[in-house]
């Protein structure tokens, strides 16, 4: 995906009502995960997050949290034994503020490489 496609996917997600239980799956689906992968993640057939979120081995660990708790959630994701053990490349924490039209405190951090993305934020004002 190029930058324009990624921005469009994020904008589309921001326009949907925020459902903390469904957001991780909608995020993964938006970035090209197949229905069978999502079904396995929902059923728990694949490894589960130790924080109550969703993760894919060698890919991403996602956690939804309360408004104002994104920094703490990111710290917990980074410190999570499941994140390290599964060699996760990205962590994502977001809060229900997306339901109000602003993906304001959503954050993704790249865990590998020298250029870590700290506090990636996408602001969309309506």
Can you tell me the distance from the alpha carbon of 115 to that of 113, in angstroms, rounded to the nearest whole number? 6
Can you tell me the distance from the alpha carbon of 71 to that of 10, in angstroms, rounded to the nearest whole number? 20
Task: Report the chain's mean pLDDT, rounded to a whole number.
Answer: 75
The pTM of the full predicted model, rounded to 2 decimals, is 0.72
Average pLDDT for 20-25: 89
Of 45-59, 66-80, 88-102, 110-124, give the lowest mean pLDDT range. Answer: 110-124
Tokens of 16: 């949907």
Query: Positive or negative CA dihedral for 95, 107, 12, 41?
Result: negative
Q: pLDDT tens digits for 35-76? A: 999 998 888 766 678 888 888 888 999 999 888 888 898 999
């Amino acid at each position: 995906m190029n930058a324009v496609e990624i921005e469009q996917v994020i904008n589309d997600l921001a326009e949907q009502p925020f459902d903390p239980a469904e957001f991780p799956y909608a995020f993964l689906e938006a970035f090209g995960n197949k229905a069978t992968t999502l079904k396995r993640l929902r059923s728990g057939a694949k490894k589960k997050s130790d924080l109550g979120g969703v993760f894919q081995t060698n890919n991403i660990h996602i956690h939804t949290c309360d408004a104002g708790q994104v920094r703490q959630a990111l710290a917990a994701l980074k410190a999570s034994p499941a994140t390290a053990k599964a060699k996760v490349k990205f962590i994502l924490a977001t809060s229900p503020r997306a339901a109000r039209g602003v993906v304001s405190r959503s954050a993704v951090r790249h865990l590998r490489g020298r250029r870590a993305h700290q506090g990636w934020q996408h602001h969309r004002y309506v």
